[in-house]
């Protein structure tokens, strides 16, 4: 059993610069937890503190119930896969995967069995005699993963391992990493700035912003019930539309620029309050002309035809920022059209002056 417990951890650099003010997180045994956020948010710093590559200013980290604050990386029973493959160019795939085991004095027969097992899992069995220069980027990353697997660690730590791959390879490797983690059932902490990687890989996500945990939850929880405006805008592509609004006097909905009213139960009890309204592009759908005030009218400016979907960019009267609607590809729409749109009340998000979600549970 190897759960990870991060309890009140802080990281302060000279200056002082407080990279992580106070962060706590529990990762269950066998869980794949993704740390996601923009560059500089502290996610790699947190991973490196778990690995023992960064000193902890305050708090405690436990792996498998054992306090590891003062242990060297080699004593923590973890294996790390970096963005840089860090393979020895003069060694074969087999020797790269076996190198760490040889240094630990593992018998040759056991090394052969461990490397063969890992190579079979990763589809590298036919490549063991090759040098890194003879491999593709995806194959090199699999070798780096194989080098971690043969150690049979309690915890895998991934630091943006797919950043150097092209889009197609990244998609393939996401599937392979997910399949591998499910097969090995090893507790894993994965760092990325790519929200697609986060959504597809993670059992749970920790969304970080300026060293703070904005929200922890399953991918669907974070997507459908963002706790803050930051989370709502970071998760989802295209990003959520944000509009200034004010809750109606009767509390049954929200007035938007141009005089439109959107119905949402989240407005109840907040009559007259200024809010930010968030609507995801896919939740804006065509409304029949001549419907009531729960529709908004988008003056279309740019059409992106993607095949199955069409992205429509436009503006509302009284609002300068672009609004995006993700509509069915079969819909016929052109730049310059006035397009009536509606959103189901349950898909409308409201954020208060502190940018916290109203009605978030």
Exposure class string for 265-281: b at 16+ Cβ within 10 A, else e: ebbeebeebebbbbbbb
22-35: average pLDDT: 96
Q: Are residues 47 and 130 in the same domain?
A: yes
Domain end among 182, 209, 233: 233
| pLDDT beyond 70 at 121 | yes
Per-residue pLDDT at 55: 94
Give 352's pLDDT tier (boundaries 50, 70, 90): very high
27-52: average pLDDT: 95
Give 289's pLDDT tier (boundaries 50, 70, 90): low
| Closest of 47, 22, 23 to residue 34, by C-alpha | 47
Number of folded domains in the chain?
A: 2
Domain assignment present for residue 95? The answer is: yes
Kindly report whether the peptide bond that precedes residue 238 is cis, defined as omega within 30 degrees of 0. yes
What digits encode the pLDDT tens for the residues 53-73? 999 999 999 999 999 999 999
Edge to edge, the sheet with strand 253-255 lists 261-263, 253-255, 241-247, 274-279, 349-351
Q: Token pair 């080098």 is at which residue? A: 147
Give 83's pLDDT tier (boundaries 50, 70, 90): confident
Q: Which of 62-66, 95-99, 268-272, 312-316 has the lowest mean pLDDT?
A: 268-272
Q: Which of 138-147, 225-234, 285-294, 323-332 has the lowest mean pLDDT?
A: 285-294
Q: Are residues 228 and 244 in the same domain?
A: no
Q: Are residues 255 and 338 in the same domain?
A: yes
Per-residue pLDDT at 253: 85
334-347: average pLDDT: 88
Per-residue pLDDT at 32: 96
Dihedral sign for Cα 163, 165, 169, 173, please.
Answer: negative
* DSSP letter, residue 160: S
Domain assignment present for residue 12? The answer is: yes
CA angle 289-245-262, nearest 5°? Answer: 35
Q: Are residues 252 and 124 in the same domain?
A: no
Per-residue pLDDT at 319: 83
Average pLDDT, the chain: 90
Q: Are residues 45 and 171 in the same domain?
A: yes
Domain end among 204, 233, 262: 233
| pLDDT beyond 60 at 361 | no
Q: Are residues 53 and 17 in the same domain?
A: yes
Domain end among 201, 233, 265: 233
Domain assignment present for residue 360? The answer is: no
40-44: average pLDDT: 93
Per-residue pLDDT at 199: 93
Structural domain including 123 reads 4-233
CB 360 within 8 A of CB 275: no
Give 132's pLDDT tier (boundaries 50, 70, 90): very high
Q: Are residues 101 and 210 in the same domain?
A: yes
Residue 180 has, within 13 A of its CA and on its CB side, a CA count of 23
Please give the share of the chain, as a percent, with pLDDT higher than 90: 63
Per-residue pLDDT at 201: 93
Q: Are residues 280 and 207 in the same domain?
A: no
| Closest of 118, 111, 51, 115 to residue 82, by C-alpha | 51
Using DSSP, state whether 226 is helix, strand or coil. coil
What digits encode the pLDDT tens for the residues 147-190? 989 988 999 999 998 888 888 888 888 888 888 888 889 999 99
Q: Are residues 247 and 228 in the same domain?
A: no
Domain assignment present for residue 210? The answer is: yes
Per-residue pLDDT at 130: 95
Q: Are residues 112 and 146 in the same domain?
A: yes
Domain assignment present for residue 112? The answer is: yes
Domain assignment present for residue 359? The answer is: no
36, exposed or middle or buried, with CB in 10 Å at 0-12, 13-18, 19+?
A: buried
Which spans in the chain are helix H?
A: 43-51, 93-103, 108-122, 137-149, 167-184, 195-201, 219-224, 229-234
Q: Are residues 50 and 185 in the same domain?
A: yes
198-218: average pLDDT: 95
Q: Which of 6-15, 304-313, 327-336 has the lowest mean pLDDT?
A: 327-336
71-86: average pLDDT: 89
CB 47 within 8 A of CB 205: no
Inter-CA distances, 86 with 106, 142, 171, 352, Å:
22, 12, 22, 46
98-125: average pLDDT: 91
Q: Are residues 19 and 162 in the same domain?
A: yes
Domain assignment present for residue 356? The answer is: no
Angle between helices 108-122 and 93-103 (to 10 degrees): 130
| pLDDT beyond 80 at 290 | no
Domain assignment present for residue 51? The answer is: yes
Query: What is the CATH classification number for the domain harbouring 274?
Result: 2.40.50.140
* DSSP states along 286-340: E--TT--TTEEEEEEEEEEE-SSEEEEEEE-TT--S-EEEEEETT----TT-EEE
Query: What is the CATH classification number for the domain harbouring 118?
Result: 3.40.50.300
Per-residue pLDDT at 327: 93
């Amino acid at each position: 059993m190897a759960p990870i417990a991060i309890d009140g951890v802080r990281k302060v650099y000279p200056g002082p610069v407080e990279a992580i003010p106070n962060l706590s997180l529990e990762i269950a045994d066998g869980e794949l937890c993704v740390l996601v956020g923009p560059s500089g948010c502290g996610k790699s710093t947190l991973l490196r503190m778990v690995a023992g590559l960064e000193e902890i200013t305050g708090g405690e980290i436990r792996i498998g119930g054992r306090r590891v604050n003062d242990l060297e990386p080699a004593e923590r029973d973890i294996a790390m896969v970096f963005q840089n493959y860090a393979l020895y160019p003069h060694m074969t795939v087999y020797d790269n995967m076996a190198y760490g085991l040889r240094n630990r004095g593992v018998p040759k027969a056991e090394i052969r069995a461990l490397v063969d097992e890992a190579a079979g899992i990763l589809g590298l069995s036919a490549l063991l005699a090759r040098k890194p220069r003879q491999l593709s980027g995806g194959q090199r990353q699999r070798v780096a993963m194989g080098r971690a697997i043969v150690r049979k660690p309690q915890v895998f730590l991934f630091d943006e391992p797919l950043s150097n791959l092209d889009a197609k390879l990244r998609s393939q490797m996401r599937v392979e990493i997910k399949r591998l983690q499910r097969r090995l059932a090893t507790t894993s902490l994965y760092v990325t700035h790519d929200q697609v990687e986060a959504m597809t890989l993670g059992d749970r996500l920790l969304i970080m912003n300026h060293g703070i945990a904005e929200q922890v939850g399953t991918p669907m929880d974070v997507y459908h019930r963002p706790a803050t405006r930051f989370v709502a805008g970071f998760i989802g592509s295209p990003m959520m539309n944000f509009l200034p609004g004010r809750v109606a006097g009767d509390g049954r909905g929200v007035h938007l620029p141009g005089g439109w009213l959107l119905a949402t139960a989240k407005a109840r009890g907040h009559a007259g309050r200024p809010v930010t309204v968030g609507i995801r592009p896919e939740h804006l759908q065509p409304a029949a002309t001549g419907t009531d005030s729960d529709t908004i009218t988008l003056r279309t400016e740019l059409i992106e035809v993607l095949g199955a979907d069409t992205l429509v960019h436009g503006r509302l009267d009284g609002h300068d920022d672009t609004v995006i609607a993700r509509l069915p590809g079969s819909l016929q729409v052109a730049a310059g059209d006035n397009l009536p749109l509606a959103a189901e009340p349950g898909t409308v998000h409201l954020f208060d002056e502190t940018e916290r979600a109203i009605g978030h549970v």
